[in-house]
Structure 1
């Protein structure tokens, strides 16, 4: 069998069990590439420890995904190395609350085979049985390999200090090799001398650097070359042009629904507006531009995968990529009906999990660079439930293991008075992780920007994570709209200059900002009829667009008063992590100060009245309105 296999293994951090959903995501990507979701051609095998498999909650999250439509892979073989002490638990009663470490498998009714690791023939039999079950019933299966740890947890550990009775027995217990050699001699299969000679020959081969395993021939159908994605810079040009006529055709196609599909009234209104956008009668809102970006990509043969807890509809009722027929409960996805040869558009509402789902999507993106893979948090605040994935894989996986990944994270972020649990995606944490151009952090403020940002991520050769502070109130803000011409002829702008017709010579202050607060500043300035304050948006905070910012600020070279304005508290947001970049692009000798909320342990206040006062104060401070 090995002669016809291609083996792939995931490089794993020391955070136990987190690699399991990464493996499953990688397998699902390969199955989608084969377009055989129930195939036995790709087999996931995960290896667990007895303490970690029951102690780490990500295992339960991963099991919960095992039969979910967007995440199933036809079952996983889960091998538990059960050394009966875990890391070094002195008393087994402290390790778990169930008789067996594999009892967690019962939550998905997975069969569990307990086998004595001292009996290699029994282990081989159980392994074949587990594989047969998995391949037949497409479900997870556990092998509880009951064994022991002869030495300590690490070089400095002396296990007899905490397990004295167990290790008295282990020291007297023969090794599995000795037990099996004695068995072969008793059955007259091989003598002890034969067994010793086999061991010596094997060790000699290892010492000589010889190959000790049979070579196998890789199956090219499972192989994939990453060479087109090597050695790219974030600011390189890419083929972004879509003809206006084709863009209008696509906009019309994804806003047209068969008569047999009865839409809910609010959804029907949204699709009616999108038809008007396609006809040039309305400007594009966020949902219209985002869906059109996906349409252009699948039209060009580029697959798109989008998942999250409300991804089909969108947490804030803006996307509606999936329409639910009100008459019979069936669904219709316009983006799957562009043309016969289109790229696949897959959108999945995920299980209610951040850690395992984000790890899954990371694994998917590392195995399928041609697909635009997107994970959307319900609220950006909840993404820190997956902090291990962000720290150990997304931000540092390429630096540690050379694993490239083009995953997009959409994190709804913005201060609208919804309190400390629904305001902040913790922008500062992502900026703190940024170095060596390891990922991109963007805060798009217009529909055209999100359209071009998503296309850039898919069309460029570079494959690095993209973290997006996506909006909430801007989804329907009357000023946050874009024309079809901006989509057809524009590109993603990492920095956007002043949009009103101000005389640059009369400008005395420049306010720099990102995200929703821009519109608060713009509306207040227009209300005040101010002409001496310019407002500049930084749409990409990392890698910081020094060149673009210098071009934007060139006309304000005489200005000495610069302000960074943000909604987040002083100790959060972009101020601490990015102000050195701000200082590098403002004119020599100019001052830079902060306008925003005071430092706070909580991301936001809990009272709407307090929020509104804080918001007005920071806007007034930035514009210097008494």
Structure 2
């Protein structure tokens, strides 16, 4: 029409103007119709899930919500974890590990780190929540501690210990993934983006290896909510600690994550007890908002008696951001308070006990 109006004969120019005016009139008519009678929009299920959540405020982090389970549920889930069909004959070493866990609970009513972790997943699965985990060696666990899937020593047939508590439960989705940290963490971030009712975890074989996924951490996990107003509850488990394994197998670079913390963008924890880890995992889906959780996981201390937790710690309360020194009975004797986080606590506590130092209190900062 523009060409005809500029170059056509007078009758063509008039026709072109009429055509253009009719076109704009049609558009305006449709626009007015839509404004007066808007088309109904039906939110899809994932949109409904996200719409039920809200943005976090600083007040949300003053105290964690209750995430305990009942004693009967605790015992039921523990028993379910510690049994398998007669058709599965685990490796003798693995079977002994599981029998030791049973003895620990029967004798002291305590569970170790890996059992506390699996109990958290189990409790969510039977509530109908999705739990998904990936990483380079997650079924067994890098340090041979998790054994979420046990294998028959003769046939190599696998048995997922978390899929058999009851008929109407979610299945535990656990995958030994490829060595592309960038690709796998990006996929899990996307999975958590699609479904806020899923606990989605990625575990580095060693915490150092998260540097291969630094783009995902910098551009998405730490800053996605600020840039795009999109929450995400993905969990990163980063084994961390100097255990004599040399470069590339010692540090998850805690300082990098702390430098990226700002404006309530993500949670960084360095947890020392099985129960507190249990509550941290359950808290991810208990909150009515979502935040990424980066936990610096123990290595040698996976089996340290100090990390064991009594059943009462699972059936009461919730996550403890700070753990006071329970050995101090008379605070008037305290002359010095040490604040620490993670592995170093066990060394300090051992020295405190050995020297009978009631004048020094050791306080653990579990959430940094």
Residue 230 of structure 1 is matched in structure 2 by: 54
Following the alignment from structure 2 to structure 1, what is the Cα–Cα distance between the partners of residues 263 and 47? 29
Residue 408 of structure 1 is matched in structure 2 by: 235
CA contact (8 A) 1:248 1:279 kept: no
Following the alignment from structure 1 to structure 2, what is the Cα–Cα distance between the partners of residues 376 and 234? 25
Structure 1 residue aligned with 2:215, among 388, 394, 407?
Answer: 388
Judging changes above 3 Å, is the alpha-carbon distance between structure 1 residues 297 and 225 closer, same or farther for their aligned structure 2 residues? closer
Root mean square deviation of aligned Cα: 2.5
1:68-467 matched pairs, under 5 angstroms: 220=44, 223-232=47-56, 233-235=60-62, 238-279=65-106, 281=108, 283-467=110-294
Distance apart, 1:209 and its partner CA: 8.1
Distance apart, 1:503 and its partner CA: 2.8
Q: How many residues align?
A: 341
Following the alignment from structure 2 to structure 1, what is the Cα–Cα distance between the partners of residues 183 and 360? 46
Following the alignment from structure 2 to structure 1, what is the Cα–Cα distance between the partners of residues 118 and 103? 15
Deviations 1:313-352 (A, max 9, x none): 1111110001111221211112111111112311111111
Judging changes above 3 Å, is the alpha-carbon distance between structure 1 residues 334 and 291 closer, same or farther for their aligned structure 2 residues? same
Following the alignment from structure 2 to structure 1, what is the Cα–Cα distance between the partners of residues 329 and 243? 29
Following the alignment from structure 2 to structure 1, what is the Cα–Cα distance between the partners of residues 309 and 49? 38
Deviations 1:54-93 (A, max 9, x none): xxxxxxxxxxxxxxxxxxxxxxxxxxxxxxxxxxxxxxxx
CA contact (8 A) 2:46 2:194 kept: no
Following the alignment from structure 2 to structure 1, what is the Cα–Cα distance between the partners of residues 45 and 190? 19
Following the alignment from structure 1 to structure 2, what is the Cα–Cα distance between the partners of residues 220 and 533? 57
Distance apart, 1:438 and its partner CA: 0.6
Distance apart, 1:475 and its partner CA: 0.4
Following the alignment from structure 2 to structure 1, what is the Cα–Cα distance between the partners of residues 177 and 52? 31
Distance apart, 1:236 and its partner CA: 5.5
Judging changes above 3 Å, is the alpha-carbon distance between structure 1 residues 535 and 276 closer, same or farther for their aligned structure 2 residues? same
Task: Give the unaligned 5+ runs of structure 1.
Answer: 1-192, 542-626
Instruction: Report the structure number with the largest CA radius of gyration.
Output: 1
Distance apart, 1:467 and its partner CA: 0.6
Judging changes above 3 Å, is the alpha-carbon distance between structure 1 residues 222 and 292 closer, same or farther for their aligned structure 2 residues? closer
CA contact (8 A) 2:64 2:283 kept: no
Following the alignment from structure 1 to structure 2, what is the Cα–Cα distance between the partners of residues 383 and 425? 7
Following the alignment from structure 1 to structure 2, what is the Cα–Cα distance between the partners of residues 321 and 397? 31
Q: Secondary structure at the match of 1:393?
A: helix
Structure 1 residue aligned with 2:303, among 472, 476, 499?
Answer: 476
Distance apart, 1:235 and its partner CA: 4.1
Q: Secondary structure at the match of 1:323?
A: strand
Distance apart, 1:456 and its partner CA: 1.1
Alignment TM-score, normalising by the size of structure 1: 0.51
Following the alignment from structure 1 to structure 2, what is the Cα–Cα distance between the partners of residues 455 and 315? 23
Deviations 1:525-582 (A, max 9, x none): 22223222111110000xxxxxxxxxxxxxxxxxxxxxxxxxxxxxxxxxxxxxxxxx
Distance apart, 1:227 and its partner CA: 2.5
Judging changes above 3 Å, is the alpha-carbon distance between structure 1 residues 357 and 216 closer, same or farther for their aligned structure 2 residues? farther
Residue 509 of structure 1 is matched in structure 2 by: 336
Residue 347 of structure 2 is matched in structure 1 by: 520
Following the alignment from structure 1 to structure 2, what is the Cα–Cα distance between the partners of residues 502 and 219? 57
Distance apart, 1:378 and its partner CA: 0.6
Distance apart, 1:245 and its partner CA: 1.8
Following the alignment from structure 1 to structure 2, what is the Cα–Cα distance between the partners of residues 481 and 402? 39
Following the alignment from structure 1 to structure 2, what is the Cα–Cα distance between the partners of residues 530 and 271? 36
Following the alignment from structure 2 to structure 1, what is the Cα–Cα distance between the partners of residues 242 and 295? 16
Distance apart, 1:502 and its partner CA: 4.7
Distance apart, 1:229 and its partner CA: 1.7
Deviations 1:218-257 (A, max 9, x none): 6845653313221342345534231112211110011111
CA contact (8 A) 1:273 1:282 kept: no
1:1-80 matched pairs, under 5 angstroms: none
Distance apart, 1:279 and its partner CA: 3.6
Q: Secondary structure at the match of 1:436?
A: coil
Q: Secondary structure at the match of 1:524?
A: helix
Following the alignment from structure 2 to structure 1, what is the Cα–Cα distance between the partners of residues 23 and 140? 63
Deviations 1:404-452 (A, max 9, x none): 1011100001122222311111111111111110110011101111111
CA contact (8 A) 1:252 1:278 kept: no
Following the alignment from structure 2 to structure 1, what is the Cα–Cα distance between the partners of residues 281 and 65? 12
Following the alignment from structure 1 to structure 2, what is the Cα–Cα distance between the partners of residues 238 and 499? 22
Q: Secondary structure at the match of 2:218?
A: helix
CA contact (8 A) 2:114 2:145 kept: yes
Following the alignment from structure 1 to structure 2, what is the Cα–Cα distance between the partners of residues 525 and 406? 38
